[in-house]
Structure 1
Amino acid sequence: MSSLSVTDYHAGTGAGTLVLLHGFPVDRRMWDSTASLVDASWRVLGVDLPGLGGSATILPEPPTMAASAWAVREALEGRVVPGAPVVFAGLSMGGYVVQAAMRDYGELLDGVILLDTRSGADTPEARANRLRIADESEASGAAHAVLGMAKDTLCEASVQRRPELVEFQRSVIESQTGTGIAWSQRAMAGRPDTADTLREWGKPALVIVGQEDQITSVDVMREVAELLATDAFMVIPEAGHMSPVEQPALVAAEINGFLRAKFTAR
């Protein structure tokens, strides 16, 4: 299998490697504005997850979050800064991939950042809806079934006053293939509960959520922080589910503060 597409945002000066994993139904482009503001001493890599963006043709079977996490590990071989900390940051679906990595090869990670995601598995109703959308997307060959997420993942203020963000989201979603949308939905539908993984983590963790996230609310993300036993819990104002898209400077500031606090003194 070919390797996932990886974008090298900047090489850093040896402080460590920050790996950015995107949400659904977009790709690593959701991180572009934030990545450029991350501490320049860190190497920053953006990965296109299976089926999406530059990894559209990479579709491990069966579709699972674990398969996605292992594909990320393979894609990072030879890319991380030797002997320096490795931190994974994942939003929404990317957060599910981070949690799979924590479970399956957590010894390789020094810290995690979870944004606008959750630890619980899908309810039967949510799972059935994902599988329905997967079938529809695969049959159509396009991303039409999830185009509504261009607005639904943004806060109301962004939708009303920042049309360029809606258009950006729509453009990225429209560029995805129906096959990639289907793979992602099936992988998410089958993901397990990860509460035990979070409880057992014991390493640095930062939790970030958009104040107006209607998909993974502040309360849902507070539960994630409690499971991780971290007090690094940040609520981003005027942001919905795609907090790095809406407030890249604020998200980058929280990431930079976390990296400095937890890893600079090593």
Structure 2
Amino acid sequence: MDSVEVAGLRIRYRREGQGQPLVLLHGAYEDSRIWRRQLDALSDEFTVFAWDAPGCGGSDDPPPDFTGRQLGETLAGFLREAVPGRPHLLGLSMGSGIALELYRAHPSVPASLLLVSAYAGWAGSLPPEEVERRYAQVLAELDQPPEQFIPEWLPTLFTEHADPAAVEETSAIMADFHPAGMRALLNANARADYRDVLPAIAVPTLLLYGTRDVRSPLSVAREMNRQIPGSALVLIPDVGHMAPVEAPEAFTTEVRNFLRGLAG
């Protein structure tokens, strides 16, 4: 892995391939390893970057009072330091929120947005009581050993048809979370609301969801599509929240088709 320093934090990342830059932003409890399949499959056509967000993987933990704005600025700094040209940004779940945070302050940076299993922030897409339930759940988990709570997450991330090896791989990645890093990220973005950002998005935007996603369900997907001008909503049948892992071939095909359409 390579690394750059951004505002005093060491940010680790993976880079594969040659071509237009495509930056992959993972979700909560994950790191860049979750993109193993996409780093391999898309590197024939793109320079694919997958970062470890602050507090995840090999990257440094941010301070406890880290804010959502600072998270967006860290991504902006990472792009300046590591990524040549104007990148396509692909965010999964929490990663989509980080992409929206960046867009709020730096709308000229991304060439396009690919928002996967996305929210307009939890507070922008979910009822207040569900936001607080999720916040309290994760906060409690940070004091528990991973083997105690990760098995409870997996049925909310995958359908029963998912490849057991892929589920086990994801579980192992999640088990490597940083308690201090996740606590800082939770405080930075758990109550984020990007509803004001969506109507202002002026770059091509793909919204990609599994039809059986129980964490960011189709009602969230359709509202995102309604709010983002000109956005394309694509649904992958019978797939859950972790579409890039559960259905990597279908996922990669949709990403490739969208980006090729922009080039054409």
> What TM-score does the superposition give when structure 2 sets the normalisation length?
0.87
Cα gap change, 1:154/1:103 in structure 2, threshold over 3 Å: closer, same or farther?
A: same
1:47–1:72 CA contact under 8 A, matched in 2: no
Deviation at 1:247, TM superposition (A): 0.9
Structure 1: stretches of 5+ with no match in the other structure: none
Cα distance in 2, alignment partners of residues 199 and 135 from structure 1: 32
Cα gap change, 1:189/1:66 in structure 2, threshold over 3 Å: closer, same or farther?
A: same
2:64–2:180 CA contact under 8 A, matched in 1: no
Q: Which moved more, 1:39-48 or 1:196-205?
A: 39-48
Matches within 5 A, 1:1-266: 1-10=8-17, 12-13=18-19, 16-38=20-42, 40-55=44-59, 57-82=60-85, 85-120=86-121, 121=123, 123-140=127-144, 144-158=148-162, 162-191=163-192, 193-262=193-262, 264-265=263-264
Deviation at 1:217, TM superposition (A): 1.1
1:117–1:221 CA contact under 8 A, matched in 2: yes
Cα distance in 1, alignment partners of residues 186 and 151 from structure 2: 14
Q: Which moved more, 1:93-102 or 1:195-204?
A: 195-204
Cα distance in 2, alignment partners of residues 235 and 58 from structure 1: 35
> What TM-score does the superposition give when structure 1 sets the normalisation length?
0.87
Number of matched pairs: 254
* 2:4 alignment partner in structure 1: none
Cα distance in 2, alignment partners of residues 221 and 186 from structure 1: 24
Q: Secondary structure at the match of 1:58?
A: coil
1:58-101 deviation digits (Å, cap 9, x = unpaired): 2145233322221122222242233xx31111011001101101
Cα distance in 1, alignment partners of residues 78 and 10 from structure 2: 5
Q: Aligned-pair RMSD on alpha carbons?
A: 2.1
Deviation at 1:43, TM superposition (A): 1.1
Cα gap change, 1:140/1:39 in structure 2, threshold over 3 Å: closer, same or farther?
A: closer
2:100–2:197 CA contact under 8 A, matched in 1: yes
Q: Secondary structure at the match of 1:166?
A: helix
1:208–1:234 CA contact under 8 A, matched in 2: yes
Cα distance in 1, alignment partners of residues 164 and 49 from structure 2: 28
Deviation at 1:131, TM superposition (A): 4.1
